Amino acid sequence: MKKILLLPFLAFAMLSCTAPKTQEPMNNEVINAIMARRSIRQYHATPVARDTMMQIMTCGINAANGQNKQSWEVRIIDNPTTLQKVQDLMVVGNPALSAEMVRGCMRGAPVMTFIARDLGYDFSAYDCGLLAGNMMLGAQSLGVGSICLGSPVRFINDAENSAEILAMLGFSANYDLSLCIGFGYANESPAAKPRDINKVQFID
């Protein structure tokens, strides 16, 4: 009789061990970070500590990348004087653009990261994109705002004095500046913009 009573319990125990465990999206920290992250264009002047930035970078370099080539290089500027020097050089090197436009392209972020890709590896652009995504989500999880920027890349690469600016950043030979990410503590709370799920389709 005892064996018969134990059978339902054993069956339940086996199902509990083998059934896949699911998690509600709003109880998932990764999904929460993805859904909460916004592009921040207004920042407090408060600097982001270097140990926090290193946590963010650790998230970045652990991104998926082709053949583990890690085909990126990152330069971080968190010194206001150095960042101002880069901006001033950009202004001088782009006489056709207003100083306000060139200086404003970094959105006032107190920390700027400059990401370059290895031109010798044809998937390096993908690697840098994955690196950047991890960096921004890692930052979000630590309460740090971020914004991915293309204008500083264009302004630096097109500047008459681009060689001088790139020399400051010190990338290795055959690496090309590809994108920038600003980091800092948000001074705004922008609402999410609509996304079109209809662009996603299953093919049977």
- Mean of the pLDDT values across residues 79-88? 96
Find, among 69, 90, 150, the residue nearest to 115 by Cα. Answer: 150
Enter the pTM of the model: 0.86
Provide the residue ranges of all domains of the chain, joining segments of one domain with +. Answer: 37-184
Copy the structure tokens of residue 110. Answer: 């107190």
User: Which pLDDT value is given to residue 185?
Assistant: 98
Confidence of residue 24 (pLDDT cuts 50, 70, 90): low
User: Which pLDDT value is given to residue 27?
Assistant: 84
Per residue in 105-147, pLDDT (tens digit) is 999 999 999 999 999 999 999 999 999 999 999 999 999 999 9
- Mean of the pLDDT values across residues 57-75? 98
- As a whole number of angstroms, the distance between CA 148 and CA 136 comes to 8
* Confidence check: pLDDT of 8 > 60: no
Q: Which residues contact 123 (CB under 8 A, 6 or more apart)?
A: 66, 69, 71
Strands, sheet with 72-77, edge to edge from the N-terminal-most edge strand: 72-77, 111-118, 175-184, 145-149
Per residue in 166-200, pLDDT (tens digit) is 999 999 999 999 999 999 999 999 999 999 999 99
Q: Is 18 exposed, middle or buried (0-12, 13-18, 19+ CB in 10 A)?
A: exposed
Architecture (CATH level 2) of domain 37-184: 3-Layer(aba) Sandwich (3.40)
- As a whole number of angstroms, the distance between CA 78 and CA 112 comes to 7
The DSSP element (H or E) to which 148 belongs, if any, is strand 145-149
Sign of the Cα torsion 128, 133, 139, 142 reads negative
Contacts 24+ apart (CB under 8 A), 45-48: 45/110, 46/110, 46/184, 46/185, 47/78, 47/110, 47/111, 47/184, 48/78, 48/110, 48/111, 48/144, 48/183, 48/184, 48/185
* Confidence check: pLDDT of 9 > 60: no
* Confidence check: pLDDT of 95 > 90: yes
* Residue 92, helix vs strand vs coil: helix
Per residue in 144-160, pLDDT (tens digit) is 999 999 999 999 999 99
